Chain A
Amino acid sequence: MSGKSGIIRELRQSKTLLLMIAPTIVFFIVFSYIPMIGVYYAFTKFDFDGGLFGSQFVGMENFKFLFNTGVLWNLTKNTVLYNLAFIFLGNIMQIICAVFLAQLSGKLFKKTAQSLMFLPYFLSWVLVGAFVYNLFSDLGVVNSVLKQLGLHSYDFYLHTAPWKFIIVFFSVWKGLGYGTVIYLAAIMAISDEYYEAAKIDGATIFQQIRNITLPLLKPTFILLILFSLGGIMKGQFDLFYQIIGSNGMLYDATDIIDTFVFRSLTVNFDIGMGTAAGLYQSFFGFALIMIVNFIIRKTNKDYSLF
């Protein structure tokens, strides 16, 4: 039997299975693979009437412009630094909360605390935008408190400095419950025997955490960090857009690749430039995932992404 008829027989045999997965394949072709062809816009001076191949080809012009004006550097710096802050502060807070939740004895308290910490995860970023407005606008709570203390009110929307903290705060805040659950599950998987042995040896609760809980959490921690490092070029568009909106005063400190691309499309109509920035993001994100995965494979094959 030749190989070809083998394939045909194979197809015929799994006809139903293929039919069942066909919608998914079509979905990914249409919504993910066809847009990949569209990265060609990055090399054109976009002309809406011309469409994909009717626009003028300009080679690397868009990239050159983005590099030379320093835009790309600032965007990359913001995207990467914000993500590093989100990843490390987020994970550390999640571990701390999980460790305490696991060890405290009050059942009702633990349940309530966990529920409250998980609550922000369920809220839309639009509502978080409402929180930020309620807190920091000139009529906001923070300014009301400042006024009541007899201090000058502070116009948050004119200064870049506080927004770095506000943005990192709300990112950690929103992801806290979700990550805590993951770490809590990892702690619960640790055998009680370790703790009992440690107790017999007279280890205090802090010693138990330092010598048992934290070392055994390390694999989960490393895995989650590595997972997130792969996506470090991708910004949380919702977070930045709902909190900062289109406030040009704050772009220096708060513009990330995603918000820049969004503006290129909806405000400046700079299709070529925006696509170029998006392609740069995808390309370096891809390279980063490959490098991270390579490193994990080298050190511990079980943890690698693929």
Chain B
Amino acid sequence: MSTQVKQLAKADAFKGNRIKQDKETIAFNIIGYTLLTLVSLICLIPFWLIVAGSFTDELEIISKGFQLFPDTVSFEAYKSVFSTPEQIYRAYSVTIGVTIAGSLLGIFLTSMAGYVLSRKDFAMRNGISFFIYFTTLFSGGLIPWYILMTKNLGLKDSYWALILPPLLSAWNIILMRSFMKSIPESIVESAKIDGAGDFKIYQRLILPLSTPGLATIGLFLALGYWNDWFNANMFITTDSKYPLQFLLYKILSSAAVLQTNNGAYLAANVVPPTETLKMAVAVVATGPIILLYPFVQRYFVKGLTVGAVKG
């Protein structure tokens, strides 16, 4: 009898819990969906503002400022950008060239270094690893580096000044090394018995097995090169060698004006779009990343997740 009562009471308590649980789950869902929607919007709105700004009429900007929803839609800024597109095209080709060259060379050197340091039969691996790792702990700083680049290496106004500095990073090499360490050692050993040389093992066996790692490093490198403006700011002095982001920076900081046919505007007594032009150039300079984004993001998440789980 008493056990029955107890059981009933327990069932009641369980039901009570259920109801409470459901209520809390609903509360949790409401908070979660609201918060994440808000955060997502905050991540998206600045874009919207730039795009809206680029399609606004210049006179409206001057009288009312940038708005979330412009009263009139105007394509003037884009017409301006594409009326004399040489400058943009040149900046695009510099960025694309530097990104491709730098990423490919970077992947090649990083993967080779990672492979060598992952080989347990390589006696100097710990010494060299520390030699590389130490550069993340201590550095000479910006100024000695700048003087070396310009005075000693003569890289002022050279494309090499854009390609070389981001080429190798200690973090990428360490990441690559840990990735390759997870490849079973027996593969290397059996290949050695078959008479394969060290480079052949790297090229024929390790590289194909490291595709996810290579993709992650490649994406990191490519993103870094695509978005780099700092090295151009430091070393590039000729307009025609500006990469995309640096051209955008110059136009934003009003240190340069896009070479459009402003004369035509003056003759026609129309305000040349400068404020909206800045936004249009921002859109044009960002374009490819946005188009590639959904595709690239998947790989990034995968690469990051692998790295995080491995620790």
Chain A residues in the interface with B (C-beta under 8 A): 10, 14, 16-18, 20-21, 23-25, 27-28, 30-39, 41, 51, 96-97, 100-101, 103-106, 109, 112-120, 122-131, 133-135, 138-141, 143-145, 147, 173, 176-178, 181-182, 184-186, 188-189, 202, 204-206, 220, 223, 237-238, 242, 245, 258, 261-262, 264-265, 271, 274-275, 278-279, 281-283, 285-286, 289, 306
Residues in A with CB closer than 8 Å to B300 are: 118, 181
B42 on the A face (CB < 8 A): yes
Can you show 13 pairs from A to B with CB atoms below 8 A apart? A16-B197, A27-B168, A115-B293, A122-B293, A127-B50, A130-B248, A143-B65, A173-B43, A181-B308, A205-B24, A237-B230, A306-B130, A306-B133
Give the contacts of B120-160 with A (CB-CB under 8 A). 122-124, 128, 130-133, 135, 137-148, 151-153
Segment among B1-9, B28-36, B210-218 that sits at the interface with chain A:
B28-36
Q: Are A134 and B46 in contact (CB under 8 A)?
A: yes
Within the assembled complex, what's the spacing in Å between the Cα atoms of A140 and B223?
29
Q: Is A242 a contact partner of B249 (Cβ separation < 8 A)?
A: yes
Verify A182–B304 contact, CB threshold 8 A.
yes
B98 adjacent to chain A (CB < 8 Å): no
Q: Which residues of A are found within 8 Å of B142, using beta-carbon distances? A: 258, 261-262, 265, 274, 278
B167 CB within 8 Å of chain A = yes
Nearest 10 CB-CB pairings of A with B = A38-B144, A278-B141, A35-B140, A124-B227, A144-B65, A202-B17, A16-B198, A32-B135, A131-B46, A116-B40
Is B92 positioned at the interface, with any CB of A under 8 Å from its CB? no
How far apart are B257's CB and chain A's nearest CB, in angstroms?
Answer: 16
Contacts of B138 in A (CB 8 A): 36, 282-283, 285-286
Contact, CB under 8 Å: A100 / B35: yes
A100 to B119, CA, bound (A): 41
Question: Provided the pairs A21-B117, A126-B252, A176-B43 are in contact, do residues A140 and B66 lie with their beta carbons within 8 angstroms?
Answer: yes
CB contact under 8 A between A141 and B49, given known A118-B297, A186-B308: yes
Measured between beta carbons, the chain A residues less than 8 angstroms from B296 are 122
B109 and A24 contact, CB distance less than 8 A = yes
Residues of B within 8 A of A25 (CB): 128, 131
Complex: A186 Cα to B304 Cα, angstroms = 11
How many angstroms between the C-alpha atoms of A5 and B140 in the bound complex? 37
| Inter-subunit contact B109/A27 (CB<8 Å) | yes
Return chain A residues, CB-CB under 8 Å to B49: 131, 134-135, 141
Distance between A139 CB and nearest chain B CB, rounded to angstroms: 4
User: In the bound complex, do residue B309 and residue A126 qualify as a contact, i.e. CB atoms below 8 Å apart?
Assistant: no
B271 within 8 A of A: no
A35 CB contacts on chain B under 8 angstroms: 139-141, 144-145, 148
Once the chains are docked, how many angstroms separate the CA of A42 from the CA of B137? 19
Contact A147 B113 (CB under 8 A): no
Q: A126-B248, A185-B308 are in contact. Are A100 and B197 (CB under 8 A)?
A: no
**Extra 6 A-B pairs, beta carbons < 8 Å, given A20-B202, A24-B109, A103-B28:** A103-B32, A119-B44, A126-B252, A135-B49, A202-B21, A205-B24
A261 in contact with B226 given A14-B123, A21-B112 (CB within 8 Å): no
